[in-house]
C-alpha cells in the first residue's frame, strides 16, 4: 500500500488530505487525528469568566487553535507571535485563530496577551485539548528536560533563537505539559491538521498550517476575503446572526 510521509519528519504533525481523512504516516508510525467527539465539548474559560464549549470556536468557520505549553516560556512566546503573523492571511481565507493555556495565572496571562498573542485566549480547564495531543489519553503528554542538559542540543538552538525575538520571559508555571496546534474544520468537519510538541519548542510548520487551514475553508465553502465570524480580540465569542 502507498504510504504518505511529510518531507520534514521531525515535527510530530498530522495533515489530513482532504479534511475528512484522519491519518498520515510519520517515521513508519500512524499518527491518528483526534476525533471531533473528543474535543468539541472541552470547556474553555476566557479572561472575563465566560465559559464556552470548544466547538463554538469552529462553529461558523475553520479555526487554528494554538495549544500553549507555558505562556511565560521564551519558546512559547516566540512561537505565538510568529504564528500570529499568519493572522491576516488566515482571516482573508475566513479562518479564525484562538489559543489555550492549561494553567491560568493572571500575571502570566496579562504578560502574554496581547503582547505576544493579540487573539482570543482561553483556559482549557480540563486540559481536553492537551489530552487530544496525547492520543486522547487520560493525561496530557509530558515532556522532558533532558534536551537542556546538552548545550549543543536542538532545544538550546531554539531557545537561543527565541531569545533574540523575546527579551522578557520567565520560568513560572508548569512547562512540561506539552502543547501543539490543531486546525479544525467548520462545524462537524473534524480535525484537519495536528502538530504535537514532542520536544521543547518544536513548532508546527507554518506552511502546512496555512495549507490545512485554507483547505478546510475551501471544503466548508468559505469565500476568500470573508472575515471570521463571532470573534473579538478579548477572547469572547460573540453571538452571530442566525
For residue 189, how many other CB atoms are within 10 A of its CB?
Answer: 18
Report d(CA 94, CA 92) in Å as an integer.
5
Instruction: Considering the candidates 24, 76, 133, 216, report the single residue annotated as catalytic.
Output: 76
Question: Most distant CA pair in the chain: distance in Å?
Answer: 56
Active site residue 63: no
Locate all alpha helices (DSSP H) within 125-180, ordered by sequence: 128-132, 154-163
Residues 139 and 133 sit within 8 Å (Cβ to Cβ): no
DSSP one-letter code for 177: B
Q: Which of 73, 141, 200, 237 is catalytic?
A: 73
CA angle 115, 105, 91 (to 5 degrees): 40
Q: CB of 15 within 8 A of CB of 193? A: yes
Q: Is 136 a known active-site residue?
A: no
Evaluate the CA torsion angle 199, 203, 208, 209 in order and state its sign. Answer: positive
* 81 exposure class (CB count in 10 Å sphere: 0-12, 13-18, 19+): middle
Question: What is the SS3 assignment for 129?
Answer: helix
Cα distances from 154 to residues 12, 83, 89, 135, in angstroms, run 15, 20, 30, 25
Residues involved in catalysis: 73, 76
Amino acid at each position: 500500500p502507498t504510504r504518505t510521509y511529510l518531507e520534514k519528519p521531525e515535527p510530530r504533525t498530522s495533515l489530513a488530505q482532504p479534511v475528512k481523512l484522519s491519518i498520515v504516516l510519520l517515521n513508519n508510525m500512524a499518527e491518528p487525528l483526534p476525533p471531533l467527539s473528543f474535543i468539541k465539548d472541552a470547556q474553555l474559560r476566557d479572561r472575563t469568566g465566560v465559559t464556552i464549549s470548544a466547538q463554538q470556536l469552529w462553529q461558523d468557520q475553520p479555526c487554528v487553535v494554538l495549544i500553549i505549553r507555558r505562556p511565560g516560556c521564551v519558546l512559547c512566546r516566540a512561537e505565538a507571535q510568529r504564528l500570529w503573523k499568519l493572522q491576516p492571511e488566515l482571516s482573508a481565507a475566513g479562518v479564525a485563530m484562538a489559543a489555550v493555556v492549561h494553567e491560568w495565572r493572571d500575571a502570566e496571562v496579562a504578560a502574554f496577551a496581547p503582547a505576544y498573542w493579540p487573539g482570543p485566549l482561553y483556559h482549557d480547564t480540563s486540559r481536553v485539548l492537551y489530552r487530544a495531543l496525547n492520543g486522547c489519553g487520560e493525561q496530557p503528554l509530558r515532556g522532558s528536560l533532558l534536551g537542556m542538559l546538552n548545550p549543543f542540543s536542538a532545544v538550546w538552538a531554539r531557545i537561543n533563537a527565541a531569545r533574540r525575538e523575546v527579551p522578557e520571559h520567565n520560568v513560572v508555571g508548569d512547562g512540561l505539559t506539552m502543547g501543539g496546534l490543531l486546525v479544525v474544520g467548520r462545524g462537524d468537519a473534524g480535525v484537519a491538521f495536528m502538530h504535537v510538541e514532542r520536544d521543547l519548542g518544536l513548532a508546527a510548520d507554518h506552511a502546512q498550517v496555512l495549507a490545512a487551514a485554507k483547505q478546510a475553508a475551501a471544503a466548508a465553502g468559505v469565500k476568500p476575503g470573508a472575515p471570521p465570524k463571532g470573534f473579538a480580540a478579548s477572547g469572547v465569542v460573540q453571538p452571530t446572526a442566525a
